[in-house]
Amino acid sequence: MTFSKINFLFLGLLLSFATFTSCGDDDDNPVIPITLGSNVTVTNTFQSTAFTSGAELAIEDLFQVPAGSLAASTTVSAAVEFPAYLLNLYDINIDENNISFEVVAQADDPNYGTLFRVLEADTYDRYYLTFDDAQDVTGFTSSNSSVNLRIDSDKVLVIEIGEDYDFKPGQSFTITLN
């Protein structure tokens, strides 16, 4: 065998080896951001220059009810985790890859009917999702440009609804996690 034939044979073996080893396990073991069966608690705060003088307040303070009384806890499953959360305001659904909110309050709702509007600048409605165990959320996309996800830690995700959100019955959005 000549030197060039050996080089071509070696190069062919090297390329074959590289091709097969580069097909690693990345697709075989995709990262799942939220673990089904995880325990999660949701709490809510509101911040607005018009209503709270710019301070972030627990929603219980605004409704003048005992601290923590509007928090809710559940286990992440295939069902809607928080139906009619916050005195029948939102259905909140969490799965392995998404967090979805839908306004279920009606236009004449005694708690929210007079509050439906497009949110003004410097207004933030925040939903803190606190998990008992670490989750693997590293990023997101939002179906609504007025809704953001803040990743405070591997156990705390914050849905932040802000300026220009059209707060009205039937409004919904989804945060897709990665």
Beta carbons within 8 Å of 109's beta carbon, 6+ residues apart: 88
Condensed to tens digits (0 to 9), the pLDDT of residues 75-117 reads 999 999 999 999 999 999 999 999 999 999 999 999 999 999 9
The full set of domain ranges for the chain reads 39-177
Condensed to tens digits (0 to 9), the pLDDT of residues 132-169 reads 999 999 999 999 999 999 999 999 999 999 999 999 99
Helix (H, G, I), strand (E, B) or coil at 103: strand
Predicted model pTM:
0.84
CA angle 41, 47, 52 (to 5 degrees): 125
